[in-house]
Amino acid sequence: MDKSKNQYEWGEGVFTLLSWFKKERVKDARVLIAGAGALGNEVVKNLALFGVGHIYVVDFDQIELSNLTRSVLFREQDAYAHAFKADVVAARAQEINPQIEVTPIVGNLYSDVGLGLYKSVDVVIGCLDSRIARYMLNRLSLRAGKVWIDGSIENMTGVVRVYAPGVSCYECGLSREEFNHIMLRTGCADVVRLQSSAGRVATTPISASIVGAIQVQEAMKVIHMTEGEETPFKTLIGKMLRYEGMNNSVNQYRFASWKKECPAHQQWKDVICINTLSANDKVEDALSTLKKYLEVENVEINLLNNKFIDVIISDRPEKEYEVMLPESQLDAYITANEELRKLSYRTIFHKHFYENIDETFPYKHLSLKQIGVPLFDVIQVATEKGLYYVELSQDAAIYNIER
Ligand SMILES: [Zn+2]
């Protein structure tokens, strides 16, 4: 590997012929990709070919045989091994271009990826297949102040939409019906509802590669943009591009919705980086570090994306079950437990949870991670002096990011 690095530099004499291409910028760029399915495969492949220096790919899913038809980086053996999509995409992209760094994150884009990572990247790319995932990705990207590029495919059609702070927001563009559907799945605070799996959509390798290609082209434009400077490009920010393979049409529309008082628009600015804080810290230690650092008497960590559940209570028979997990892991926990799974068909569970963590929290020996705070997150901390946003900066090292 080291030898090949010395022999040549990726893209030299090729991309350097492009008038707009800035080699150093591309090498230093960081891109976060949510979803490692058909679109994620295409997107990561193209980013690797361009030599984008730091790629982070997030997916919780495992490879199945049916994925092989439109996922260029997957092999039959990966499906038999039930390998994780993120791991395989990262390893294969690394084979394509050994000069870059591709980091897999096996997990959920909102409960396993800290906002610190969202803040550290140049652009976010959504390769998702559900509205709920897009809703969450939109909130996190806007909270971090980032442009995010959404792709979707169905049959011979592909759509790319680009959302940006102050211009367009996925949540604002939702119809009332779509919004209610999402609320039904995410908003019900204290009752357990097992998520049914998303219906399978018919897609082709063609629409995946066309949409994945356009997403990366837009990402390259964002990477090359400098605030206040003119660019040679027209971007899709605030627009949508629709490709129809049936009749070979490509159209661009304005697609920007930015309503007043949408809760998704809150950008977390003035984030305080504390280099001695990690999600691996015990809650009790984190609380005292925060008090000392912020010079306050009272701190309360607000869990906004996840909650900590200590017990669930079934309706009939009325019985308590100890869980001690973040809410994001509850479905998997119930599914894996035979008694609970059977019970879930005929009763409902009520959750007992904690979402504001202070000195009265009874499980202070657990780590922040164990109660649902991802590594390298930015946490909201309420104090008598007001609200603070604090980054768990010690975790930056796991992503090779300097703080
Ligand atoms: Zn909005």
User: Average pLDDT of 295-320?
Assistant: 94
Q: What is the pTM of this model?
A: 0.94
The pLDDT tens digits of the residues spanning 231-276 come to 889 999 999 999 999 999 999 999 989 999 999 999 999 999 999 9
CATH code given to domain 2-265: 3.40.50.720
Q: How far is the CA of 386 from the centre of ligand 1 (A)?
A: 25
Per-residue confidence band for 191, with pLDDT thresholds at 50, 70 and 90? low
Domain residue ranges of the chain, discontinuous segments joined by +: 2-265, 272-399
- Say if residues 58 and 105 touch (Cβ distance below 8 Å): yes
Distances, alpha carbon 281 to alpha carbons 326, 376, 394, in Å: 16, 12, 10
Q: How far is the CA of 174 from the centre of ligand 1 (A)?
A: 9
Distance CA 255, CA 236 (A): 9
Q: How far is the CA of 92 from the centre of ligand 1 (A)?
A: 36
Distance CA 57, CA 32 (A): 6
The pLDDT tens digits of the residues spanning 156-186 come to 999 999 999 999 999 999 999 988 888 877 7
The yes-or-no verdict on residue 188 having pLDDT over 90 is no
Distance CA 154, CA 203 (A): 5
According to the model, what pLDDT value does residue 203 have? 86
HSE value, Cβ hemisphere, 13 Å, CA-based, for 219:
32
Q: How far is the CA of 261 from the centre of ligand 1 (A)?
A: 8
The pLDDT tens digits of the residues spanning 339-352 come to 999 998 888 899 99
- Say if residues 89 and 58 touch (Cβ distance below 8 Å): no
Q: How far is the CA of 266 from the centre of ligand 1 (A)?
A: 9
